[in-house]
Amino acid sequence: MNPNEHGKRVSGLFDNIAVWYDFLNHFLSVGQDVYWRRRLVRFVRSGPTGAVLDLAAGTLDVSVELLRQNPTLRVFSLDFSRAMLCRGKAKIAKHPAIIPVQADGRALPLPDGCVDMVTIAFGIRNILPRTDAYREILRVLAPGGRLCILEFGTGQARIWQGAYNFYLGTVLPRIGRFFSKNPEAYQYLADTIRAFPNARILAGELLDAGFDTVSYEPLSSGIVYIHVAQKPR
């Protein structure tokens, strides 16, 4: 599938599950997703631009957490699924500093060097090719700015004696299918988690793309990872 067809398929898929997205996120992760996003945002440091890009912002939970932890920030919340952004609208009613933008992460409608930080939670896995997103992220980051990624591990290592792997491959697609009435969506979730590179390979990818001082840390026994990569000064 070429990258544009892939993009259309992914945005259509998130448009379809947007109504259920928040509920299923909290339910399927047993509330851990809230803790994971909070940990991601702790890596964010405000800089000279005072602005952050929350890429693949979805229903805006990371954007709201960014402001909760850093009340003076301006946040551009970008996603190509209109339905996902619309679901998040009520959450930002009291936060005029959050600016939702519908656009593709591979062609950011932002000027060079305009943000100190880019966050992306559970989004980079969906973007193909990832090198296009890295190129655009590097362009909009100010020198020394940071990219903070929250993403699932590969799902290939045995976690909790295989209980997590069974959950990912068998339980999760069935629950997702039942609630969202979309057989494809949660199978897609499990498939993309398994197809994602491990943390070491991703770190290499980020270095090849032009970031420096790349680091990562596992959360919840490696179910998810936070990766931090800095643009050279």
Ligand X SMILES: C[S@@+](CC[C@H](N)C(=O)[O-])C[C@H]1O[C@@H](n2cnc3c(N)ncnc32)[C@H](O)[C@@H]1O
Positions in the binding site for ligand X (CB under 6 A)? 7, 10-11, 14, 37, 56-58, 61-62, 79-81, 84, 104-106, 121-123, 126-127
Give least dist CB 94 to ligand X, A.
Answer: 20
Q: In angstroms, what is the minimal distance from the CB of 158 to ligand X?
A: 24
Q: Which of 2-8's residues contact partners 24+ apart within 8 Å by CB, and which partners?
A: 3/106, 3/128, 3/129, 3/132, 6/128, 7/80, 7/104, 7/106, 7/128
Of 58 and 222, the one with the shorter C-beta distance to ligand X is 58
Measured from the CB atom, the residue of 98 and 127 that comes closer to ligand X is 127
Residue 27 sits at the vertex; the CA angle it makes with 22 and 33, to the nearest 5 degrees, is 70
Provide the token pair at 157: 């290592």
Name which of 64 and 159 has its Cβ closer to ligand X. Answer: 64
- Do the Cβ atoms of 53 and 140 come closer than 8 Å? yes
Q: Which residue is nearest to ligand X (CB)?
A: 58
Task: Report in angstroms how near the CB of residue 152 gets to ligand X at its nearest.
Answer: 10
Cβ contacts of 102 within 8 Å, gap of 6 or more: 78, 79, 80, 81, 82, 85
User: For residues 178 and 186, what is the distance between their CA atoms, to the nearest angstrom?
Assistant: 10
Amino acid at 66: L
Angle at 199 between CA 76 and CA 63, to 5 degrees: 20
Q: How far is the CB of 32 from ligand X (least distance, A)?
A: 12
Minimum CB separation from ligand X for residue 101, in Å? 10
Question: Residue 117 CB, nearest distance to ligand X (Å)?
Answer: 14
Q: Which residue, 107 or 213, has its beta carbon nearer to ligand X?
A: 107
Cβ nearer to ligand X, comparing 65 with 116: 65
In the chain, the largest separation of any two C-alpha atoms, in whole Å, equals: 49
**Closest C-alpha to 215, from 57, 53, 43, 36:** 43
Nearer to ligand X, 106 or 146 (CB): 106
